[in-house]
Amino acid sequence: MIRQAGQRFFRMIPLLLAAGALSWASPAQAGGYLAIDQNGAPYVWPSGVVHVRLDQGGFGDMNKQQADALTLGAMSQWTSAHTSTSAVVIQNDGDLIKDYGNGDNQPEPEITTHPGYCAVIYDQTGDDIALIAGEGNQNVAAGVAGPDIPENGAPGPVSGGIAIFNGLFLNGGQGNGGLSDQDMQGVITHEFGHVLDMDHAQANLSHFGYTDLLGQPLDIPDNYTGVPTMFPAYFVGDTSLEIDDMNWVSTMYPTAEFSARSSISGTIRDYSGLPLNGVNIVARSTVDPFLMITCVSGYDDPTPLDTQTGHYTIPGLPGGTGWVLDTESIASLFAGGSRVGQVDPPLVMPGPPEYINEPGIESNSDDAGRSTTFVIPSSPPANLANIDMTLNSLDSADQVQEVDTGVDQIASAQPLVITPGKYTLVSGHADYNESGNAEVIDWVFWQDRLVDWYKIANKSGIELNEVTLSSLSAANLDLYIIYQDQTDTGQILNIGYLDGDKDLEMSFDTSVMGTIANPAPLYIGVAVQDGGTTTGADYLLGVLGSVADDSAVVVSGTPGNEIDPNSGVINVLGRGFSNIGGTPTVTFSKPNLQVNSVDFISSGSLNVHVTKLPGYSGGGTTDVEVANPPGSGSYKGRRYNSAVSEQARVNDYDLY
């Protein structure tokens, strides 16, 4: 049902420390929009003009002039000065009536009443954070922000807003090492997104939490490339918007340029065909794997937990571009104050992560790894509607029992064979002082001891999508994903700390851990915290994977795995075929078999027109190779290569 928002809808940002300082915020209404009315429409500022009034005091070690410049610069990220498709205008209406951040404990009228403008307060002492968010939050919150909206989901414009930033966190204050002025600028940009009615977004989750064996961030290009400003966690030094931020703010405040663009939309359904809210849809560019736009199904559903719509939209797609859509669960740690979308706690997707395919191919029993490239026509707007998806079912889990070998070497790690789209469930026992099952007792990560190791036996064909750890008794356990070689060098993802008998879950893309040589083994490690239980803890380890071919362009063969050149047309089947910038190129290794032209039927089917040249001899086999046109780009997340091949028998009766 509609959240009873009252007159104010704001978010609070506590800070934690991981790869960088994390900013968390309070509940949202939708993935895409912070709050929606009873008709499913977002709340927007009239004519896209946000009137702001600034505190009279300074901020941290900044004087007022410096603080105002930092704040207005952070806000301008949402305007056409940085985002050409956004019609947001920031109107500086001068100062508030007093210095609210001086800690004088006097009445603060503009904190509770700010009609028609957004009050920006530099809270030097944290008192105003405590006033609006509750006593104690000044010690954990870097700020609060949000718009004033009508009560009970009634339609109407934003009528004002509030943004309070906590000076206790600047320049080394309040534990956590504090935030630099630049870091605070990133926090202000994020929070002002909430003032504009922007919700959190889960995009490029692969970047979140990856570290090397010393706990340092991995050398991912630009480290946080493609992570949107509205990601539920703030990464230190991240001050600019990404395409996900730009497109969603532009849906609410569009320029003519944005209105001329197209979209992809449809409905997400469970295996039985019922609409399903809470699934994260990720549209990845076929040119750049980090260029992605997301939407949580049901983002515009005014009754998200009642009669679900499952509706999603990927907005702002330029003509001539190609996009591959797949689905994932919202990470379980993005709950409560950090939630993404309307379903809280996050939905555990009742099916394996999979691609969305074109109508006629998509079903509840299709190949989860089959990908369709959706091409936006060159003359938009030409919206692609009814791109629906029905989740596949999860088969019953493969049951595995932990085996303690008594050998304390990583080479003795227990192998796990992962079946795509099917859980592997391991029953195990962890004890800080146990031996066996590849314990590496001299490895200590953050006072953890890795005691149980599992090696993914078929790593080359599997991409891990989800790993869960459930303790069956009170114990302090931890979960790791590790690329490791025999020289104790590698890369590690610490998924999280499990305190007691809670479940721990994380979804991620192991393909980003690719700087280690491909032959390096992939391990899952279960650890016990130093000083933890010595009597041991039973646990269940769940692993879910999907197909991770060397290329998303795959030739599966031809009907009957045969070709018949006598017909003049050969049907080639596969997935990932693209007609962006031309048609795919098909070649046969069979001598004197000439390809005249190729008809693009779908992402999984091509008709190849051939001629038999003099000297052609029937029988035997031929390689069938498909290469997408250069305009299709190079997709590196779930990867495209230039060409792949598959053998097919040549009809033995086809004698020239």
What φ, ψ does residue 100 adopt, rounded to 5°?
A: -85, -15
Residue 547 clears pLDDT 50, i.e. is over it: yes
Residue, of 164 and 486, whose pLDDT is higher: 164
Mark 10-19 as b/e (b = at least 16 C-beta within 10 Å): bbbbbbeeeb
Spell out the CATH class of 395-547. mainly beta
Cα distance between residue 244 and residue 231, in whole Å: 10
Task: Give the pLDDT score at 171.
Answer: 66
Task: Give the pLDDT score at 70.
Answer: 95
Q: 């780009």: which residue's tokens?
A: 633
In the chain, the percentage of residues whose pLDDT exceeds 90 is 26
Superfamily name and number for 259-392: Carboxypeptidase-like, regulatory domain (2.60.40.1120)
Give the three-class secondary structure for 150: coil
Which DSSP string corresponds to 239-286? Answer: -S--HHHHHHHHHHSB-HHHHTSEEEEEEEE-TTS-B--SPEEEEEES
Residue 106 clears pLDDT 70, i.e. is over it: no
Per domain, the residue ranges of the chain are 11-200, 259-392, 395-547, 554-650
- Mean of pLDDT values over 205-228: 52
Fold classified for 11-200: Collagenase (Catalytic Domain) (3.40.390)
Residue, of 502 and 597, whose pLDDT is higher: 597
Residue 400 clears pLDDT 80, i.e. is over it: yes
The yes-or-no answer to whether 259-392 and 554-650 have a common fold is yes
Q: pTM score > 0.85 for this model?
A: no
The CA dihedral of 210, 216, 220, 225, to the nearest 10 degrees, is 80
- Half-sphere exposure (Cβ direction) of 503: Cα atoms closer than 13 Å: 13
Task: Give the pLDDT score at 501.
Answer: 45
Give the three-class secondary structure for 102: helix
Residue, of 340 and 55, whose pLDDT is higher: 55
Task: Give the pLDDT score at 521.
Answer: 67
The CATH number for 554-650, chosen from 3.30.360.10, 2.30.30.100, 2.60.40.10, 2.40.40.20, is 2.60.40.10
Task: Give the pLDDT score at 627.
Answer: 77
Task: Give the pLDDT score at 272.
Answer: 92
Cis check: omega of the bond before 381, within 30 degrees of 0: yes
Please name the amino acid found at residue 20.
Answer: G
Mean pLDDT taken over the chain: 75
pLDDT band at 10; cut points 50, 70, 90? very low
Task: Give the pLDDT score at 293.
Answer: 94
Residue 218 clears pLDDT 50, i.e. is over it: no
Tens-digit pLDDT profile for residues 340-396:
888 888 887 888 777 888 888 788 887 666 667 788 888 767 899 999 999 988 776
Residue 341: both structure tokens together: 């979308």
In the chain, the percentage of residues whose pLDDT exceeds 70 is 68
Cα distance between residue 111 and residue 120, in whole Å: 9
Give the three-class secondary structure for 21: strand
pLDDT band at 654; cut points 50, 70, 90? very low
Cα distance between residue 421 and residue 243, in whole Å: 30
Residue 149 clears pLDDT 60, i.e. is over it: yes
Task: Give the pLDDT score at 155.
Answer: 94
Residue, of 105 and 25, whose pLDDT is higher: 105
pLDDT band at 275; cut points 50, 70, 90? very high
